[in-house]
Amino acid sequence: MDTADATVRPADAPLAFRPATEADVDGLVALIESAYRGDASRAGWTTEADLLGGQRTDPEGVAAVVRGENSRMVIVERAGELVACCQLEHRGDHAYFGMFAVRPALQGGGLGKVILAEAERFARAEWGVTEMHMTVISAREELIAWYERRGYARTGRMTPFPYGDERFGVPRRAGLEFELLVKSLG
């Protein structure tokens, strides 16, 4: 079954969070791709389809996070179906948050806020970190504003987009870069 297109069960069912396993990799890749790339991603508001074509991730990249000693790929399920995911990586005094994807048809209903808050709670409680870091394409003003409303601050620290490395997508415009966003978890 294509997890990205699976029928979602009742919205009032509780969310379940669990670490991903190798068996989850294909479903995670499908979910991440559906949230960011191609026409299917346009059903939600997190699409990058106007900025980037090609892939957002691949099975090897997701499997590396699943197997990583200092990382955790978090599966979010409702009534046994994959609805969202995120990556957490322990990096000393801070955690890195990435590969955040919510099924496009479920975006805009508050699910992302709940998942982000749980990721922050986990990083603070389990790893004792004092900050959460993430990088966002600086042209994604609406997405950055969403994170700012949740306490993340723009740092102005930029890293270039890896032009020429199609593992991260095929840019549709010049000048793409990532900005570091930081939130204190203290």
Mean of the pLDDT values across residues 117-124? Answer: 97
Strand partners, 17: 76
Note the pLDDT of residue 50.
86
Q: Is residue 89 part of a domain?
A: yes
The 3-state DSSP class for residue 176 equals coil
The pLDDT-based confidence of 48 (bands split at 50, 70, 90) is confident
Q: Is residue 5 part of a domain?
A: no
Q: Is residue 149 part of a domain?
A: yes
pLDDT digits (tens, 9 = 90+) for 15-37: 999 999 999 999 999 999 999 88
Q: Is residue 2 part of a domain?
A: no
Note the pLDDT of residue 168.
85
Domain span at 153: 14-184
**Domain CATH code at residue 33:** 3.40.630.30
- What global pTM score does this model have? 0.88
Q: Is residue 83 part of a domain?
A: yes
- The whole-angstrom separation of Cα 112 and Cα 121 is 14
Q: Is residue 4 part of a domain?
A: no
- In the chain, the number of structural domains is 1
- The whole-angstrom separation of Cα 95 and Cα 167 is 23
Task: Evaluate whether 167 touches 61 at the Cβ level (below 8 Å).
Answer: yes
pLDDT digits (tens, 9 = 90+) for 62-94: 999 999 999 999 999 999 999 999 999 999 999
Q: Is residue 76 part of a domain?
A: yes
Q: Is residue 3 part of a domain?
A: no
